[in-house]
Structure 1
């Protein structure tokens, strides 16, 4: 059902047919990257956090990024507390492994992390543990109704990694 809500959501932009469904799992960054034949950093993972009320806040980040608790608190004014799997499903309508910022059960605040800006296109999941879509950053921003860009992650901008990632991205890997 979750992938269906994503496809329904993407119909607004005539992109529902671009959702890729795989015979193998794409439930983790590593599995998705292997299935798609791209570097893990290009997988746009959606992280779910407890917001300031009953609602969640979603951060879409590059596959190689990790949330920096200090940056998160400085940006949002509260501690980064991830939702448990039941809460994720309740808030987003998507189970862990297929969480994405499209076709959400609730109207949640979505932010895109700066770690994504290294890439022209990225691959978020599409509501199931074996799906994805390739989107530009502009499309991701639009389709997710993002509230804005945030700088809340670390671990992705080390000079040696960035150079290697840029070279791989330029080669389309």
Structure 2
């Protein structure tokens, strides 16, 4: 069964993607949006839908017959909270902002990076959802958190989020994470969140991101 026929049979999933840019246009988009990389560990990505909206094609997303365990946990968490979003599969991995930009054909500035920090005094995890166009200011994060922060290792990320780096979603963690959301993300109408693996995402609005995480919208750059 083709993806287009699957979409027609899944009326609850009005899935759309950005129009496919030419290679030259994608290169210009990435060059124009390029900024210094943010500190911290990228553990998930959101991609803002850009350009003219068209129906999804097989090149960009797939609706899998069966989700891997990590992605299935995210799907079940969304369902239990009453969100109708479907976790879908990307053709390309989205471990970095650049990879996510290529996957959706948008500039790096339209990617939301999830960064995990650790409180230096308390040892608690702190989740930052930042625009790919912005460099996170560690000192500002420390002021928001009320203590200095530092970069953790991969073991710390998995222990406190339940997911491996590259696929950490905004929900489904074993504990509630202190979360701050880059205010620049709120200007977009629609974003894509990591769905449990580097190849799985789901669509949502920025205000839903704030609601489901309980995160505080703040200046993080």
Per the alignment, residue 138 of structure 2 pairs with 69
Q: Is the 8 A contact 1:8 1:16 kept in 2?
A: no
Contact 2:192 2:202 (C-alpha < 8 Å) held by counterparts: yes
Matched, 1:23 2:103: no
Report the alpha carbon displacement of residue 48 of structure 1 after superposing the two structures with TM.
0.6
1 or 2, which has the higher helix percentage? 1
- Do residues 44 (structure 1) and 105 (structure 2) align? no
CA distance in 2, matches of 1:59, 1:125: 14
| 2:167 maps to 1:84 | no
Native 8 Å contact 1:2 1:127 kept in 2? yes
Alpha-carbon distance between aligned partners in 1 of 2:83 and 2:210, rounded to the nearest angstrom: 16
Instruction: Identify unmatched segments of 5+ residues in structure 1.
Output: 154-173
Q: Aligned to 2:184, which of 115, 131, 135? A: 115
1:58 aligns with 2:133: no
Query: Number of aligned pairs?
Result: 151
Aligned equivalents of 2:149 and 2:184: distance in 1?
17
Per the alignment, residue 6 of structure 1 pairs with 74
**Alpha-carbon distance in structure 2 between the residues aligned to 1:94 and 1:28:** 16
Per the alignment, residue 104 of structure 1 pairs with: 173
In the TM superposition, what is the alpha-carbon distance from 1:152 to its structure 2 partner? 1.8
TM-score of the aligned structures, taking structure 2 as reference length? 0.63
CA deviation map 1:119-151 (0-9, x unaligned): 2222221110111222211111122232x1121
Moved over 3 A (4+): none
Alignment RMSD (CA, Å): 1.7
- Residues 1:133 and 2:202 are matched in the alignment: yes
Structure number, greater radius of gyration: 2
1:150 maps onto 2:221 in alignment: no
**Could you say if the C-alpha distance between residues 116 and 22 of structure 1 is closer, same or farther in structure 2, counting changes exceeding 3 Å?**
same
Q: TM-score, normalised by structure 1?
A: 0.78
Answer whether contact 2:94 2:100 (CA < 8 A) is retained. yes
CA separation in 1, counterparts of 2:118 and 2:181? 16
Q: Which runs of 5+ in 2 are unaligned?
A: 1-68
Checking the alignment, whether the CA contact within 8 Å between 1:43 and 1:124 is kept in structure 2 is no
Q: Distance in 2 between matches of 1:15 and 1:141?
A: 16
Distance 1:55 1:21 in 2: 31
Q: Would the alpha carbon gap of residues 60 and 32 (structure 1) be closer, same or farther in structure 2, given more than 3 Å must change?
A: same
